[in-house]
Chains A and B, each alone.
Chain A
Amino acid sequence: MNTSLNYAYYPGCSSTGTSVEYDMSSRAICAALGIQLQDVPDWSCCGSTPAHTVDHSLSSALSARNLDQVASMGLDSCITPCPSCLANLKTAKHKMQDENFRDKVNKLLEKPANTQVETKSVLQILVEDYGIENIKKKVVKPLTGLVVGAYYGCILNRPAELMQFDSREHPMAMDNIMEALGATVVPFPLKVECCGASFGIPRKDVVMRLSGKLLDTAQEIGALALVTACPLCQMNLDMRQSQINRANGTKHNIPIFYFTQLLGLALGLTEKELGMDKLCVSPRTLLNSIAKEEQIKEKAA
C-alpha cells in the first residue's frame, strides 16, 4: 500500500448543501484510511451542465480556475466526489491541450491557467491507488446481510476515452467495494442509465419516470438499498423518492447511500460522522438489521 496518498480535494458546490453527507463521509473515510486531503483553497463552481450547454470556453474557464489552484498547491492530482465536477475538470484539461481553445479560455481568466493536473474521482483513487484488498483489511464492521445494488449513473465512466476508469457499460468498482465490505451485492442491470440529472426542477416528470424506473428495478432484483457515487443521482433517488412514489403510484422505501457512507460504516466510523441522518429515506431499520446480523454472527463465532 502506498502510505503517502496525498491529493488536492475539490468538494463541489452540492457538498455545501444537498450532498453534504457525501462530502462528510468522503473526508471521514479518507482520514480513516490515512489518505491526506488538502482542500483547494478558494475553489469555485466548475460550471456543471449549464455552463457547457452555453459555451465550452465558459465551462472550461470556470473549471480551469480550479485546476490552476491545484497546480499552485504543488500537487499534481486532485480528487472530487462529484462525477459532474469530475467530467468538467477533466474536459477542461483535455480541451485546453488545443492551443486555440486554450487561448480562448485564458482570455476569460485573470491570468493564464496551469491546467496540467489530473483529476480523479474519490472512487477511482480508492480502487486504483488505495486498493480494495487494503480496504478489506481495514473493515471492522462488515455489512453482513445488507443486500445492495450499485448504481453508477451516466457520466462517472463515460465517455470512456475521457474518464479512463472502469467499464463504460458495466462498471464494477462499487460492486467490488461493497463485496469487500461484506455486503451481498445484487447485479444492478441499469448501472449507467440516466436518473434524469438536473431536470428535477424544470422537468420533474422526466426524473419521476427515469428515477422511478431505477427504483422499480432495484425492487425487482431484491436490493434493499442502492449505493451511488453522484450527488445528483442520490438526490433524485433519495430526496425525490416520495415525489416519485406519488407520481408513479409506487411505495418504494429504498435507502440511497453514498458508497462512502457504507464504506465508513464498515470502517467503524459513526453514523453521525457519515451524515446518515441527512438521508431523506431513513436507513434506520436497514442499519439496525446489519448490526443485528453482525451480532448473531459474532455470537455464533
Chain B
Amino acid sequence: MKVININSSYDSDFVREVEEESGQKLNLCYQCGKCTAGCPYTDEYDISVSQIMRLTQAGQKEKVLQSNSLWLCATCESCTSRCPNEIDVALIMDVLRHMARREGYTGTGRVKTFWDSFLSSVEKNGRVFEVGLLVNYISHTGRFWTDVDLGPKVLPKGKIHFKPTEMQGKKEVAKIFMRFNEESAK
C-alpha cells in the first residue's frame, strides 16, 4: 500500500474545480457511508462512492480520475436522495466524469464507447437510431456478439428499424455538437 503525504499530495485546484463545477461543498461529507450503502453499482466499483468522496475531499486527483467507478455510475440518485448532509453526490460523480474525460481517462473504455456511440447517433440523426448505435458500438469494441441472441426475439415484434427516423432539424442538432466541440476546444 502507498503511504500518502496528506499535505503535499493535496491538490487544491482539483478540490476547488470540483466544488465550482458541482456547486457542492465537499467538506459537508462526514463519511457516514450511506451513499456506498445504497449504491447499486458498488459491486462493480473499484473505489466505492464514499471513498471517491473522501479521496476528492483529500485532493487525490489522480486516484479519483483514473477510477473505473466514475464510468459505472448510472446517476440513479440513490446517493443524492439519501445523503444526510444533502450533498448531490451523483452530481459530483458526473462532474468528476467530465474532468476525467478532459484529462483523457476512459476507465475500462466500454461504457465510454457506448455513450460516445449514443451521442454520435444523436449528432448524426437528431434522434437516437438504436440499430445504428449498436453497430457503431460493435465496430468500436469488436464485440460483435453483443445482444445477437435478442435478434430472433425482438425482430418479429417490429420494434427494430434499420433506418433512422427522419426529422427536419437534424442539422440544427448536429450544429449543437459542432458548437460544443468548438467551445470545448477553446
Interface residues of A (CB under 8 A from B): 13-14, 16-18, 20-21, 42-45, 47-58, 61-62, 65, 104, 107-110, 154-155, 158-160, 168-169, 192-194, 196-204, 206, 209-210, 239-240, 242-243, 277-278, 280
Contact = CB atoms under 8 A, between A and B. Distances in A.
Of A53, A55, A239, A242, most buried by chain B (CB within 10 Å of CB) is A53
13 contacts: A44-B126, A44-B127, A44-B172, A50-B114, A51-B119, A52-B94, A57-B180, A65-B169, A65-B176, A158-B77, A194-B41, A239-B150, A243-B149
B27 interface: no
Interface in B16-67: 40-41, 43-44
A196 B78 CA distance: 13
Nearest to B156: A277
A290 B169 CA distance: 45
Contacts of B184: 55
Interface in B109-124: 110-111, 113-116, 118-119, 122
Interface string B86-108: 00101000100110010000000
A169 B180 contact: no
A58 B174 CA distance: 12
B123 to A, nearest CB: 9
Given A110-B175, A210-B40, A242-B149, A13 B77 contact: no
Contacts of B43: 209
A109 B41 CA distance: 35
Given A45-B128, A54-B98, A55-B180, A197 B76 contact: yes
Interface in B138-165: 146-147, 149-150, 153-154, 157-161, 165
Contacts of A240: 150
A206 B44 CA distance: 8
A20 B159 contact: yes
Given A42-B168, A44-B122, 19 more contacts: A16-B165, A17-B160, A42-B167, A43-B127, A48-B128, A53-B115, A54-B101, A107-B179, A109-B176, A110-B172, A154-B74, A154-B77, A155-B76, A155-B77, A194-B76, A199-B72, A201-B146, A202-B113, A239-B153
B111 A203 contact: yes
Contact of A44 (B90, B110, B158, B169): B169
Contacts of A160: 81
